[in-house]
């Protein structure tokens, strides 16, 4: 499966403190809005999302259709194709993509250790 860009979405207590910490590690703001309590930080091809007060646990995130620069990939597996493959393998989903055949959609699942995995397609 072609999963697209990977990032980890971190549930942070203080977005300003987290921003400063990751800047010291060489990350720079890539996207987001600190006044809305979220930032996407980037160091080379590594992406970290900082989210204050938006969810309870950290989330592993894949963006089908995007590369690490949020540029559209020429070829990718649509999130609905990924959903079909996962369900065909007997993997239980926490949430599923809607009935539309294309466009933005997402699915979530939980790995055996309780980690949330989000497939979040923006195109």
Name all domains of the chain by residue range, CATH numbers in brackets: 5-121 (3.10.180.10)
Question: CA–CA separation, 51 vs 59, rounded Å?
Answer: 10
Rounded to the nearest integer, the mean pLDDT of the chain is 96
Residue 99, pLDDT score: 79
Q: Which helix (H) or strand (E) holds 24?
A: helix 15-24
Instruction: List the 28-33 sheet strands across, edge first.
Output: 28-33, 38-43, 46-52, 5-12, 59-63, 116-121, 105-110
Please say if the pLDDT value at position 52 is more than 90. Answer: yes
Residue 101, pLDDT score: 82
Q: List the structure tokens of 72.
A: 């559209």
Residue 85, pLDDT score: 97
Residue 93, pLDDT score: 98
Mean pLDDT, rounded, for 19-31: 98
* Structure confidence at residue 102 as a pLDDT band (50, 70, 90): confident
Identify whether the C-beta of residue 9 lies closer than 8 Å to the C-beta of residue 118.
yes
Please say if the pLDDT value at position 64 is more than 90. Answer: yes
Please say if the pLDDT value at position 98 is more than 90. Answer: no
Please say if the pLDDT value at position 123 is more than 90. Answer: yes
Mean pLDDT, rounded, for 69-85: 96
Question: CA–CA separation, 107 vs 39, rounded Å?
Answer: 22
Mean pLDDT, rounded, for 100-110: 93
DSSP 55: -
Residue 80, pLDDT score: 96
Residue 34, pLDDT score: 98
Q: Comparing C-alpha atoms, which of 104, 121, 119, 95 is closest to residue 9?
A: 119
């Amino acid at each position: 499966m072609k999963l697209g860009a990977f990032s980890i979405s971190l549930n942070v207590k203080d977005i300003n403190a987290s921003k400063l910490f990751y800047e010291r590690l060489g990350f720079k703001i890539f996207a987001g809005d600190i006044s809305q309590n979220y930032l996407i930080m980037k160091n080379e091809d590594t992406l970290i999302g900082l989210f204050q007060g938006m969810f309870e646990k950290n989330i592993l995130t894949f963006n089908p259709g995007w590369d690490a620069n949020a540029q559209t990939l020429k070829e990718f597996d649509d999130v609905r194709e990924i959903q079909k493959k996962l369900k065909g393998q007997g993997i239980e989903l926490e949430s599923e993509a809607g009935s539309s055949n294309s466009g933005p959609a997402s699915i979530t699942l939980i790995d055996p250790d309780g980690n949330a995995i989000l497939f979040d397609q923006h195109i």
